[in-house]
Structure 1
Amino acid sequence: MMQMASCGSHDMDMEEDDVSQTQQEDVPTPVPPPTSRNKGKRKERSSGTTSGSKKKKSARSWEFSVPTSNGTTNMKKLLQTCKFFQVWEAAGNFKDQNQTVLTPTGSDGTLSLRKVSESVVKEAPNELIVLAQLPLAFIEGIRWRHFCSKVLLPTPVCRKTSTKEIVKIYADRKATMKIILGKNKQRLSLTTDIWVAPYTVASYMVITAHFIDANFQLKKMIIGFKNVGDHKGGTIAQVLLDFLEEWDIKKIFCITVDNATANTSALRKFKAGFLLKNGADALVLKGDFLHLRCATHILNLIVKQGLMEVDDSISAIRNGIQYVRSSTPRLQSFEFRVESGKMSRGSLPLDVKTRWNSTYLMLDQALKFRSAFDKMKTNEKPYLDYFDEIVEGKKRIGPPTNCDWEVTERLAQFLDIFYNSTLVLSASKSVAAHKIYNEIVAITRMIYLIDEQAGDDNELKYKALSMLTKLKKYWNPFKDPVARGKDKNCEMNKLLIVASVFDPRKKMKFAQLCFEKLFGKDTIEYRVMYDSTLAILKRLFDEYSASASNSSSSSGTGNSQSQGVSSTQSQDQVRGEVLSKRTLANGVGYERMDNLFEELVKQSGIEESSNEVDLYLKEALDNPKLMKGTEYDVLSWWMRNSLKFPILSLIAKDILAIQVSSVASESAFSTSGRMLDPHRSCLTHYMIEVLMYTEQWLKCEIHFSEKGVSTIEQMLSHVELQDDLMREYEPEFHL
């Protein structure tokens, strides 16, 4: 027990010694008073550690790893003195929690500062769904969620929330569009088209307004997308009237529709109702030139008829291409025969049956490899066995014979003409009204030329005559009073000819040349066409001049500011008259030179409005030197010369805004009509309208240039790229 006590006392003594030693070590060393050496030195600040030890910081990142329980005062003071943070906070980023980044604003590569906010990130997926015509359930799908996780986007919202936000976008855009059209008091040109839902077979009528604004820029916006129960003329007319009343549109220049018979009846009823509701000024020239038939529809009808007449020959060639492209060994065998025939390499694309430009590409390429197909027919048994197979109860058509190749070659000559014209007329973001008559004359003369060069080829002559008859049915400049029923021709809207006069490079000279080539110089038809075109131009000028005079007089009496200006001008005029009649003290009178010049102008008639048309037609044709790849901008010319030709520039804005095609450029070559996306066809009528409205309005706001119709060269390059990729990534495929 004594030993244990002694041990315990010894331990306690040791602990007391340790404590005393620790206390001695913790006693701070007295700091000497400041001297001249350390007077200007900064005091050491607390490092924020848990104890009073002076641990040296090993790196700057240590400041950001201090536990928050030990204070962040030093960090706040550092932010207050940091110049970079002050600039960042001044830009509003600290409060809005946005990040300013350099972002391209358009296709020209211009950079601007933009803030990426959470609201923008939430809005972008909704716009993507609308623009890409994706299903509403896409926002909840694995594809979008995987994308968000890859790029570290916020968690996507549900379908219900996304649908509500899309409807809100629609409501906001519609209010904005009504304000824009409310401020714009000029005439509008309309296009109408019918869309069909593939599953419900419901029909929707779409109405698009086109106009040229004060900056001479072509604008378009959809103002109607509504379910229609039938395609009768009365129904179509009433839908048009209802939408124009909803958007408070009271002036129309022209309406472009397809060639359906119901549209002729519809526009006749619409014309009567619209004039009754809005007065005689609602339509130009009493609505005599209101109805314009869609040029793309007419071309597609002619092409469709030509394709139907040689459908078996096209099917034989299509089946031959399907055989070649169905497997790699078959393609190798075909290209071996191409090489043995010393032909150029290339690809054999397949067509989409409802898009005739792809059919034209397929036939054009197949004709280059005709000898290779002939060789396969003579020495490749699997090729012949392929055409002996039964498809849908019938033997497969083919292989292509010499007659099939000859028929196809004739057809390709015509398709080339219509293809080039469709590329010109299907432009939706640039004016094309001044180009259409050139295309009509070019097609007509080319068909005449093919007919003359056909010689003894009766098949080619028959095809040329068939297409020419179809062409004249819709674009005949003279109305046939004798023909009835299906043989009755539709008189061409002569505004298409007048529109070419508003091209400063052509004026009436181009129209005269076209009349001469079509009807012969100094013939009765030539004189009738020339006189009627000039008469329509002068009627337009007189009507717009009267309208401008009425609007200026009414605005002068209705606006107080205008009254002040008018009174000032009248005072100046009176003062000028007094000065002009002033006499000197000795009785000698004098006249001012500006008054003499005004009298000279009145006598010469230089500024008379009635001579504005004559002045424009007598001026030299505009002949600019354009760089290769650039297109003449007719709207820029009229904007520069709007002060010189004030009335004609107003007419130019309306007549050049005419859309010669009622279909979008991506559907210009389609022979199947407009079809709604299957994802949208099962939605309610209201939701379909919301999506279609919003899609078109968003496209109008996007500054990036949308790709138009793909040319034959572009389509072929895409096919060849796919073949090259197959050769590159398939090592077993060798040529």
Structure 2
Amino acid sequence: MATVKEKTIQPAPSSLKASVWEHFGFYCLEGKPDLDKENAICKVCRTKVKHYGNTTNMRAHMSHHHPEMKIKDGEKLETVTLPANQQTLFQCTKLPPNTARAKKITRSIAYFISKDLRPYSTIENEGFQHMLHTIEPRYTVPSCRLFAENAIPQLYQSTKERVSVTLKKATRVALTCDAWTSRAVESYVTFTAHYITDDWQLETRAHMNELFQDVSKEWHLPTSDLVIVTDNAANMTAAVQLGSFTHVKCFAHTINLAAQRALKLPRFGEFHRSHIASRVLQQKQKLLDLPPHKLKTDVSTRWNSAFNMMDRFLEQQPAICAALLSSEVRKGGTDICTLKEVDVTNAEEMAMALKPLKEATVIMSEDSTPTLSVIAPLHAQLLHDTETGFSGEMPIVREIKQTVHEDLSKRYCTVREKSMLHTASTLDPRFKALPFLSQDEQQDIYSKVIAEAAALKAETQKEHAKEPGAPDEGQDDQHSPVPKRRTTALLNLLGKTFTDSGAAPKSASTRAEEEMTLSEDPLIWWRNHETVFPLLAKLAKNYLCIPGTSLASESVFSTAGDIVTAQRSMLSSEHVDQLLFLQKNLEVEA
């Protein structure tokens, strides 16, 4: 890399006799031998210092930036060495707390506490204070009380105002919620708001409150248009009914209830309760060259735990069988492991019977895209896959399918629920053909969608006309990001429905086209077709912003657990709300 040649600093004229000129000079004017006396040049750091015919600026520069240089009129300049523990004048000068820089540093510390979930007491730690002193020696770190009662609340208020503005612009807002209890045995209800922006991005915001009505009032959300997504708990259902809100029950939780009802089997993870059995299992894993994984147990509150338990059991089945046959384990007694021979034999068959439920759970657990539109086709497919009467099935497989089928048949069976789910599926380009419904049911849903779109147009005409955002013409559908795991699960479950529906056989190109439609993100599709179908696009925003799972609210629990730790169990609910809200909604500041 070529280097830029530095200008030569010319000595000050002999007429300038002050001793400070030993360290200053001038550049020459461009193309001329004359000196540029408007700016004096420091010979130590080559900084330009404005020259007004006196030495005030030069002395100030030397005092602030080169205090080791002793300057005295009438005497020769001499260099003095400061003691290692002696600070310079610049370092000793305190930064007033009301200056812009001090306020910016304080706000950045508040951002750090909120975004990284650090205790207020972090600012008192020796390492943190040493780091800040190194970065800015003049800054004085405020007290914990200032952050708890001033800096964090101010950051919370400004962030809340920004989120409130975006919520008011949303066509529709859907809420998911769930309840949890902290270490301090305090009950909280966590809400997440979901809405679609003008450029068809799904946004999620987290907040805590006690009642649905309070949330709608606080954020100015119309209760008549508000949709609440919760699990199937009786208290949640009752709370929604009291508020007369539109209610959607979490499909992932519904699948879990059906799976747990079917899985009345011994748990496959009892080895960890016996030191002997656990040690023998590890020996067999090494001998059979199997991964040294521990066995898992199913937990009723974790959606995929039953499936993960069976997958791990099948992975380790050779080592488990070898351990069970070991004389060392047999001598330990039958109480250390409740596995039966029939369970080992039937585990693979049972896993295959439950595989559709696992894939459906994987789909619903992805919170990056709206999933209400997926409930109806998934529900219909699972009912189809769990129908019994097939010859050659093992009795235990038939029992699992029958139990799951009976449980799912009781879900989403009201007219209101069906209408909402089917409308959402119609507005999703992947499922708009509604192949899981009869022709009469399809026509009925299409008629309702047309009527609702027309009513929406009449309603919007009364309001102030909003200029729609122009679509990005340079963006091609084929370059749109596609969630791979979700696509694979959808194709596995619904591929048959989409490619085999209809009497006439379909060509390979037709099937490929249908599978491409099935794999496309509905929000990306609507962003690229909004101007072609403007009425339906508005209606799609009303439905596709509603998630089919309350996972977003439940995932907040881990964040809240990081806030209300054993060391911070005495945090007030107000502070917990502020920190949780900021952690989920803060944006990086410039």
Structure 1 and Structure 2 fold alike (TM over 0.5): yes
For residues 174 and 374 of structure 2, what CA distance do their matches in structure 1 show? Answer: 17
Aligned-residue CA RMSD in angstroms? 4.4
Q: Once the 2 structures are TM-superposed, how far is the Cα of residue 495 of structure 1 from its aligned partner?
A: 1.9
Specify which of 696, 701, 712 is matched with residue 584 of structure 2: 696
Q: CA 1:192/1:355 → structure 2, altered by over 3 Å: closer, same or farther?
A: closer
Q: Once the 2 structures are TM-superposed, how far is the Cα of residue 437 of structure 1 from its aligned partner?
A: 2.6
Residue number in structure 1 paired with 2:209: 226
Residues 1:659 and 2:563 aligned together: no
Residue number in structure 2 paired with 1:346: 291
For residues 355 and 70 of structure 1, what CA distance do their matches in structure 2 show? Answer: 77
Counterpart secondary structure, 1:532: helix
For residues 445 and 49 of structure 1, what CA distance do their matches in structure 2 show? Answer: 92
Residue number in structure 2 paired with 1:497: 422
Q: Once the 2 structures are TM-superposed, how far is the Cα of residue 166 of structure 1 from its aligned partner?
A: 1.6
For residues 409 and 436 of structure 2, what CA distance do their matches in structure 1 show? Answer: 16
Residues 556-575 of structure 1: matches in 2 within 5 Å?
A: none
Q: Once the 2 structures are TM-superposed, how far is the Cα of residue 660 of structure 1 from its aligned partner?
A: 1.0
Q: Once the 2 structures are TM-superposed, how far is the Cα of residue 211 of structure 1 from its aligned partner?
A: 1.7
For residues 360 and 150 of structure 1, what CA distance do their matches in structure 2 show? Answer: 52
For residues 635 and 469 of structure 1, what CA distance do their matches in structure 2 show? Answer: 34
For residues 669 and 469 of structure 1, what CA distance do their matches in structure 2 show? Answer: 32
For residues 102 and 462 of structure 2, what CA distance do their matches in structure 1 show? Answer: 52
Residues 707-718 of structure 1: matches in 2 within 5 Å?
A: none
Residues 16-31 of structure 1: matches in 2 within 5 Å?
A: none
Residue number in structure 1 paired with 2:179: 194
Residue pair 2:191, 2:553 contacting (<8 A) in 1 also: no
Read off the aligned partner of 2:233 and give its amino acid letter.
A
Q: CA 1:458/1:350 → structure 2, altered by over 3 Å: closer, same or farther?
A: closer
Residues 386-535 of structure 1: matches in 2 within 5 Å?
A: 387-388=332-333, 396-398=335-337, 400-406=339-345, 408-448=347-387, 451-453=388-390, 455=392, 457-476=394-413, 492-507=417-432, 509=433, 511=434, 513-515=435-437, 526-535=438-447
Specify which of 293, 304, 323 is matched with residue 357 of structure 1: 304
Residue number in structure 1 paired with 2:451: 539
Q: Once the 2 structures are TM-superposed, how far is the Cα of residue 469 of structure 1 from its aligned partner?
A: 1.5
Residues 569-648 of structure 1: matches in 2 within 5 Å?
A: 623=513, 632-648=520-536
Residue number in structure 2 paired with 1:369: 316
Residue number in structure 2 paired with 1:159: 144
Q: CA 1:264/1:514 → structure 2, altered by over 3 Å: closer, same or farther?
A: same
For residues 67 and 443 of structure 1, what CA distance do their matches in structure 2 show? Answer: 83
Residue number in structure 2 paired with 1:206: 190
Q: Once the 2 structures are TM-superposed, how far is the Cα of residue 171 of structure 1 from its aligned partner?
A: 1.8
Q: Which runs of 5 or more structure 1 residues have no equivalent in the other structure?
A: 1-39, 52-58, 76-96, 98-115, 228-238, 272-286, 340-344, 389-394, 480-490, 516-525, 557-619, 704-735
For residues 350 and 127 of structure 1, what CA distance do their matches in structure 2 show? Answer: 41
Residue number in structure 2 paired with 1:260: 233
Counterpart secondary structure, 1:428: coil
Q: Once the 2 structures are TM-superposed, how far is the Cα of residue 404 of structure 1 from its aligned partner?
A: 3.0
Q: Once the 2 structures are TM-superposed, how far is the Cα of residue 641 of structure 1 from its aligned partner?
A: 2.7
Read off the aligned partner of 1:187 and give its amino acid letter.
R
Q: Once the 2 structures are TM-superposed, how far is the Cα of residue 447 of structure 1 from its aligned partner?
A: 2.1
Q: Once the 2 structures are TM-superposed, how far is the Cα of residue 291 of structure 1 from its aligned partner?
A: 2.1
Q: CA 1:302/1:155 → structure 2, altered by over 3 Å: closer, same or farther?
A: farther
Counterpart secondary structure, 2:189: strand
Counterpart secondary structure, 2:373: coil
Residue pair 1:377, 1:399 contacting (<8 A) in 2 also: no
Residues 1:294 and 2:279 aligned together: no
Specify which of 71, 84, 99 is matched with residue 69 of structure 1: 71
Counterpart secondary structure, 1:209: strand
Residues 1:245 and 2:217 aligned together: yes
For each residue in 1:73-99, what CA deviation from the matched residue of structure 2 results, as whole angstroms up to 9, or x when unmatched? xx9xxxxxxxxxxxxxxxxxxxxx9xx
Q: Once the 2 structures are TM-superposed, how far is the Cα of residue 338 of structure 1 from its aligned partner?
A: 0.6
Residue pair 2:209, 2:215 contacting (<8 A) in 1 also: no
Counterpart secondary structure, 2:372: coil
Counterpart secondary structure, 2:114: helix
For each residue in 1:510-552, what CA deviation from the matched residue of structure 2 results, as whole angstroms up to 9, or x when unmatched? x1x223xxxxxxxxxx245324322331231232122133336
Q: Once the 2 structures are TM-superposed, how far is the Cα of residue 496 of structure 1 from its aligned partner?
A: 1.8
Q: Once the 2 structures are TM-superposed, how far is the Cα of residue 621 of structure 1 from its aligned partner?
A: 12
Residues 275-314 of structure 1: matches in 2 within 5 Å?
A: 290-307=246-263, 309-310=264-265, 312-314=266-268
For residues 158 and 65 of structure 1, what CA distance do their matches in structure 2 show? Answer: 32
Q: CA 1:531/1:140 → structure 2, altered by over 3 Å: closer, same or farther?
A: same
Counterpart secondary structure, 1:475: coil
For residues 433 and 257 of structure 1, what CA distance do their matches in structure 2 show? Answer: 13
For residues 330 and 533 of structure 2, what CA distance do their matches in structure 1 show? Answer: 70
Read off the aligned partner of 1:176 and give its amino acid letter.
R
Residues 29-68 of structure 1: matches in 2 within 5 Å?
A: 48=19, 67-68=69-70
Counterpart secondary structure, 1:215: coil
Q: Once the 2 structures are TM-superposed, how far is the Cα of residue 455 of structure 1 from its aligned partner?
A: 3.2
Residue number in structure 2 paired with 1:334: 284
Residue number in structure 1 paired with 2:158: 172
Counterpart secondary structure, 2:325: helix
Q: Once the 2 structures are TM-superposed, how far is the Cα of residue 623 of structure 1 from its aligned partner?
A: 4.6
Residue pair 1:131, 1:695 contacting (<8 A) in 2 also: yes
Residue number in structure 1 paired with 2:504: none
Read off the aligned partner of 1:398 and give its amino acid letter.
C
Q: Once the 2 structures are TM-superposed, how far is the Cα of residue 656 of structure 1 from its aligned partner?
A: 0.8
Which region of structure 1 is more displaced relative to structure 2, 255-264 or 536-545?
255-264
Residue pair 2:259, 2:354 contacting (<8 A) in 1 also: yes
Residue pair 1:347, 1:365 contacting (<8 A) in 2 also: no
Residue pair 1:126, 1:162 contacting (<8 A) in 2 also: yes
Q: CA 1:134/1:636 → structure 2, altered by over 3 Å: closer, same or farther?
A: same
For residues 339 and 315 of structure 2, what CA distance do their matches in structure 1 show? Answer: 14
Aligned residues: percent identity? 20
Residue number in structure 2 paired with 1:602: none
Read off the aligned partner of 1:314 and give its amino acid letter.
F
Q: CA 1:50/1:305 → structure 2, altered by over 3 Å: closer, same or farther?
A: same
Read off the aligned partner of 1:413 and give its amino acid letter.
M
Q: CA 1:409/1:175 → structure 2, altered by over 3 Å: closer, same or farther?
A: same
Residue pair 2:212, 2:240 contacting (<8 A) in 1 also: no
For residues 218 and 553 of structure 2, what CA distance do their matches in structure 1 show? Answer: 28
**Normalized per residue, which structure has more helix?**
1
Q: Once the 2 structures are TM-superposed, how far is the Cα of residue 314 of structure 1 from its aligned partner?
A: 2.2
For residues 435 and 655 of structure 1, what CA distance do their matches in structure 2 show? Answer: 12
Counterpart secondary structure, 1:176: helix
Residue number in structure 2 paired with 1:607: none
Counterpart secondary structure, 2:551: coil
Q: Once the 2 structures are TM-superposed, how far is the Cα of residue 685 of structure 1 from its aligned partner?
A: 2.5
For residues 149 and 67 of structure 1, what CA distance do their matches in structure 2 show? Answer: 24
For residues 389 and 556 of structure 2, what CA distance do their matches in structure 1 show? Answer: 30
Q: CA 1:677/1:459 → structure 2, altered by over 3 Å: closer, same or farther?
A: farther
